[in-house]
Structures are given as structure tokens and as C-alpha cells.
Amino acid sequence: MSALLVGAVMGALFAGGTLLLVMQSRRARRPDARVLPYVQVTGFDWAREPAESSKWLSSEQLRRLLNSIVTDASVQRRLDQANSGIDLNAFRVDQLRWACFGAAGAIAFGLIRVLAHEPIPVPIWFLFTLGAAFAGAMLRDYRLSQEARRRIEVITSELPGFAELLAFTVAAGLAPASALSRVANRVGGEFAIELRACCDQVAAGRPFTDALEALAHRTGSESVQRFVDGIVVAIERGTPIAEVLRAQAIDARAASHRQLMESAGKREIFALVPVVFLILPAVVVVAVFPGIFGLVVATG
């Protein structure tokens, strides 16, 4: 009976926490939280005044707990790489929601065992619930990492075509910034989204080289970083930008080909797994079994 009471209390706590998460996530954000990401404001520390929808999340204890599991800088970097539509606080809320789902599964499993008259010891049940909550939070973080990794791969695969188009546009007589804006507005894809963001920063008054470096940092791709470094060095030293862009396009093609060959090599190793563990044992059994059966019959 005590185990059933503990399960009921834990279920009530989970229901209350889920209700609070839903209410906080549906509350409207303040206007400054919606406007500030698109403008640069100096002279006031907006970090001291958190958004209304995440004041409860900004408590020192909760922030310290989440930051000890996965740092805010790591989460923000992957959010930028994945071009996610949520901010850091919204991701933390989502992570807590996944943790609640994991804890709910553990609580439901314990209640089923109680109803089946095979209750789990309360300490083990409590530790299992904590482990399920932690697993849910880490699963959400792993999903974000997968989204960021897939988008980086897409951007890396799109880079050679963009580099060639940019080289042709610069060779036609346009300035690098104008050529970048024209190419970004004429094509689609994930890399075009980042290029348009770079062009918006240049239009807002940010230096072209700084915007390019921010682009490389935001995407997190090594190929994009090398591409940006080549353009920045060419601009600073006065090297003909068209030739540099053609060389960058060739290097990007070579890097893409090299990555494709490395991926094919890894797939070749994976293809040997069914051969070694399925086909080869079956062949050995088929070849050896008649002899073994004949020996058994002869000796029997």
C-alpha cells in the first residue's frame, strides 16, 4: 500500500510539473525578446531582465543544474548550426519536458508492477525514475546534435556549387558583397539561408569580412571555414578575388570527393558484417553438417 501511495504522489507531481511547463511554453514572449535578436543594442544589459516566458527557468539553481549537464555555450552553438527556430531557454524547457516524459514512463512502469502485485522497491523505483528523466533530457540533446550534424553535412555538400557561382559572378564584374547577395537571392538550400543572413548583416553595417567569419562560425563546417579564410585573406591582401574563388571551388570539390571516398570505405566495412556473421556461418554449417551427420549415422 505504501508503494501505491508513493506512486500516486509521484504521478501527481509529474502532472503538476507538466502543467506548469505547458503553461509557461504557451505564454507570449515579451516584445524586446522578439526584437533584440535582430538589432544591436548597447548601453543596457538585457541579460539581467529575462523574458517573461522564462523567468522561472532563470533561477540560479535550475540554470546551474542544466549547465552542469550540457553547457549553455554548447547548446547555443548547436542551435545556431541547426538553424533551430527556438532559443536557449525554449530548448531548456523542451529538455525538461522530455525529462518529464521519461520520468512518466518510469512511474507508469512502477504502477503497472504495483497493480500486478510485484512492486518494485521504492528506492530502486526512485532511482529508476531519476535515470529515466536524465535519459529523456540527454535524448533531446542528442537529437539536437543530430540535427546540427545533418545540416552541416548538407551545407558542406552545397558549398562547391555556391563557390563556382560566386566565382562566375565576381568574374562578371560585381563586387564580392554584391556577388554574394545576388547568388544568395537566386538559389535555395541551407547554405543560401546562411548567405542571406550574412548579406543582411552587411546591409546593417557590419564589415564584410566580419560577417563572413560569423558565417563560418555559425555553420560549424570546416570546408566553409577554409572557404571564408581564403576570401578574407584575398580581400585583405588585394589578391584577384575571382581566381581565389575558382581555387576555393576546386578545393571544395576535392574535399567533397575525399569525404565521399571515406564514407564509401566505412560503408564497405559495414557491408562485411552480414557476410561474416550471417552468410559465412550458414555456408560453413551447410558444408560441415552432412559430414557430421554421416559420422553420427556411421558410429550409431
Q: How much of the chain, in percent, has pLDDT values that exceed 90? A: 4
Grid cell locating 248: 576555393
pLDDT tens digits, one per residue of 47-99: 444 444 444 444 455 556 666 667 878 888 888 888 888 888 888 888 888 98
pLDDT tens digits, one per residue of 221-246: 888 888 888 888 888 887 788 788 88
pLDDT recorded at residue 159: 85
Cβ atoms within 10 Å, residue 296: 9
pLDDT recorded at residue 48: 41
pLDDT tens digits, one per residue of 1-27: 466 666 666 666 666 667 666 665 555
Contact present, 110 and 128 (Cβ < 8 Å): yes
The C-alpha atoms of residue 18 and residue 23 are separated, in whole angstroms, by: 9
Contact present, 219 and 156 (Cβ < 8 Å): no
Between CA 68 and CA 177, with CA 87 as vertex, the angle to 5 degrees is 120
Report the Cα 266 to chain-centroid distance in Å. 22
* pLDDT at 248 exceeding the cut of 70: yes
Sign, Cα dihedral of 53, 56, 60, 64? negative
pLDDT recorded at residue 33: 55
The label of the residue with cell 588585394 reads: 238
pLDDT tens digits, one per residue of 287-299: 888 878 788 888 7
pLDDT tens digits, one per residue of 182-202: 888 888 888 888 889 899 998
The label of the residue with cell 554574394 reads: 180
The label of the residue with cell 538553424 reads: 83
pLDDT recorded at residue 74: 84
The C-alpha atoms of residue 92 and residue 87 are separated, in whole angstroms, by: 9
pLDDT tens digits, one per residue of 135-178: 998 998 899 999 999 999 888 888 888 888 888 888 888 888 88
Three-state secondary structure readout of 148-202:
HHHHHHHHHHHHHHHHHHHHHHHHCCCCHHHHHHHHHHHCCCHHHHHHHHHHHHH
pLDDT tens digits, one per residue of 97-114: 898 999 999 999 888 888
- Give, in order, the Cα–Cα distances in Å from 288 to each of 219, 284, 292: 56, 6, 6
Question: Residue 282 belongs to what H/E stretch?
Answer: helix 280-299
**Is the model more confident about 218 or about 20?**
218
Picking from 132, 128, 110, 107, the residue whose alpha carbon sits closest to that of residue 119 is 110
Cβ partners under 8 Å of residue 180, min gap 6: 166, 195, 198, 199
241-274 helix and 122-171 helix, angle to the nearest 10 degrees: 140
Grid cell locating 299: 558410429
pLDDT tens digits, one per residue of 270-281: 777 888 888 888
Cβ atoms within 10 Å, residue 61: 7
Grid cell locating 200: 543582411
pLDDT recorded at residue 110: 87
pLDDT recorded at residue 146: 92
